[in-house]
Structure 1
Amino acid sequence: MSRRYDSRTTTFSPEGRLFQVEYAMEAISHAGTTVGILAKDGVVLAAEKKVTSKLLEQDQSSEKIFNLSDNIIAGVAGITADANSLVNYARNQAQKYLLAYDDDMPVEQLAQRLCDLKQGYTQYGGLRPFGVSILYAGFDDHHHFQLYHSDPSGNYSGWKATCIGNNNGTATSLLKQDYKDDIGIQEAMGLAAKVLSKTMDATSLDSEKLEFATITLDPRTKKPVGRVFKPNDIDRLLEKHGLAKPKDPEAAAAAATSAPAQGEAMAVDS
């Protein structure tokens, strides 16, 4: 029945559905998992990197978690090219707001701007929806720490903890069981790692398969700070929670020599 109504984004089916939008959401459900958890002192984003081939050169830059502005970071699931386009748009909007008002853009307002763009792509002929969902983690003075999720239709909603991408149903069930309203940032990082360990196809976790980021307040300036974890920080986090794969002696020695000084290390153990 859908064959008559799924060729355009502007054509509703008799049931009132836009099939092209639903197809975009289906594409996202096959992408790598991305988890967002709101804590009382920060927000955690964690994402699964899909390693398609052992021969592929691994990029050192993040491919699923991005800094949008000083007070907002984002995690994506879906088509990477679409995500890059939306991330660039979001960064431009955040900088325009900063130039106009000399203040960081509120998290919900940036989510609304992107959702306006997404919704426009479901309204005009000759366009297709963006095949990507986004988690926005940020801080502003009015609402403090926040976590939002938007999908290809242009809808967005606020969450305490949520998941997008592959096995999101299983991840959501785990979050419902283990999430607490007074959870701290350290517990949230452990919970995110635990959820990914249960939903990923891999038998063990390491920094080649994961991305982590947090947004917290600097204790001295009281300004939000977004941090995207480096590979050795991710490995330390996984070891702390007993989720890292065993290392051979040579790799362990190399990791020990390349570990950062205590003052430079990410706040994984504090």
Structure 2
Amino acid sequence: MSRRYDSKTTTFTPEGRLMQVEYAMEAINNAGSTVGVLCSEGIVIGAERKQTSKLLERSKHSEKMYQIDEHVVCAAAGLTADANILINHARIISQQYQYTYHELMPVEQLVRQLCNSKQGYTQHGGLRPFGVSFLYAGWDPIYGFQLYCSDPSGNYLGWKAIAIGANNQSASGILKQDYEENFTLRQSLGLVAKVITKSMDTTSPTPDKLEIIVLSRQNNKVVYKTLRDEEVQEILTEFKIVT
């Protein structure tokens, strides 16, 4: 039945669904797990690093984590090529705001403008939705640390803890059970590592299969840090994480 309605983005099914948008969301469910946890000290985002071939050289640059501005970072789940287009657009939006108003752009305003662009690609028959979801982690003087998630339809929501990508249902179940609002940054690191390893299709989690970043504030400045393999191994050992 859906094949009569999935040739164009703007064609609704009798049930009121847009099949092209749902196909884009399905592409995200096939991507590696990505998890974000918000705490009072900062934000932790972790992602599964998938290696398609042993012959590929490990890139020095992440294909999952991106820095948009000095106060905002994000993690992508889905098509990397689509993510690159949107990340460049987000960086331009943020810099234009800073050039105009001489201050950093509020996090939610940046997310909203980017989602408006994503939603525009669901309104025209000659375009297709972006097959990527983002977890945004940022800080601004108005609301402090904030964690948002957006999908191909242009919807976005603020979260305390969220999982997207493969096995996101089971990952969300672990977050609901284990997350506490008074978690420290170290405890949030342990929770993120636990959720990702439980979502991975392996019985032997190793640091080279995980990618974790931390957004915090030190000396009144937002600090963005990518954990080294040695630091990830310390977390796996400290919290006795096994699948």
TM value normalised by structure 1:
0.87
Cα distance in 1 between the residues matched to 2:37 and 2:5 = 38
In structure 2, the residue matched to 1:198 is 198
Cα distance, 1:203 vs. partner?
1.5
Cα distance, 1:144 vs. partner?
0.6
> Contact 1:206 / 1:244 at 8 angstroms: preserved in 2?
no
Q: Percent identity?
A: 53
In structure 2, the residue matched to 1:35 is 35
Amino acid at match of 1:31: A
Cα distance, 1:244 vs. partner?
8.1
Q: Of 233, 239, 242, which aligns to 1:241?
A: 239
Alignment of 1:73-88 (within 5 A): 73-88=73-88
Cα distance in 1 between the residues matched to 2:234 and 2:55 = 26
Alignment of 1:8-27 (within 5 A): 8-27=8-27
Gaps of 5+ in 1: 246-270
In structure 1, the residue matched to 2:136 is 136
In structure 2, the residue matched to 1:224 is 222
Cα distance in 2 between the residues matched to 1:41 and 1:100 = 30
Amino acid at match of 1:134: F
Which structure: larger Rg?
1
SS for the counterpart of 2:36 is strand
Cα distance, 1:103 vs. partner?
1.2
Cα distance, 1:241 vs. partner?
2.5
Cα distance in 1 between the residues matched to 2:184 and 2:75 = 20
Amino acid at match of 1:46: G
SS for the counterpart of 1:149 is strand
Cα distance, 1:231 vs. partner?
2.8
In structure 1, the residue matched to 2:153 is 153
Amino acid at match of 1:224: V
Cα distance, 1:230 vs. partner?
2.8
Cα distance in 2 between the residues matched to 1:153 and 1:233 = 36
SS for the counterpart of 1:50 is coil
Amino acid at match of 1:227: K
Cα distance, 1:91 vs. partner?
1.1
Cα distance in 1 between the residues matched to 2:200 and 2:120 = 34
In structure 1, the residue matched to 2:187 is 187
TM value normalised by structure 2:
0.96
> Contact 2:136 / 2:148 at 8 angstroms: preserved in 1?
yes
Cα distance in 1 between the residues matched to 2:96 and 2:225 = 23
Cα distance in 2 between the residues matched to 1:224 and 1:94 = 16
> Contact 1:204 / 1:243 at 8 angstroms: preserved in 2?
no
In structure 2, the residue matched to 1:120 is 120
Amino acid at match of 2:155: N
Cα distance in 1 between the residues matched to 2:67 and 2:206 = 22
> Contact 1:29 / 1:167 at 8 angstroms: preserved in 2?
yes
Q: Quick check: 1:104 aligned with 2:104? A: yes
Cα distance in 2 between the residues matched to 1:88 and 1:132 = 14
Gaps of 5+ in 2: none
Moved over 4 A (4+): none
Cα distance in 1 between the residues matched to 2:182 and 2:149 = 21
Q: 1:160-204 CA distances to partner (integer Å, 9 max, x unpaired)?
A: 000100000000000000001111111000000011111101222
Cα distance in 2 between the residues matched to 1:105 and 1:236 = 35
Cα distance in 2 between the residues matched to 1:181 and 1:237 = 20
> Contact 1:65 / 1:228 at 8 angstroms: preserved in 2?
no
Amino acid at match of 1:104: L
- Which moves more between the two structures, 96-105 or 127-136? 96-105
Cα distance in 2 between the residues matched to 1:69 and 1:244 = 35
> Contact 2:197 / 2:242 at 8 angstroms: preserved in 1?
no
Cα distance in 2 between the residues matched to 1:84 and 1:49 = 17
In structure 2, the residue matched to 1:175 is 175
Cα distance, 1:77 vs. partner?
0.4
Cα distance, 1:151 vs. partner?
0.1
Amino acid at match of 1:51: Q
Q: 1:92-122 CA distances to partner (integer Å, 9 max, x unpaired)?
A: 1111111111211111111101101100000
Cα distance in 2 between the residues matched to 1:63 and 1:95 = 22
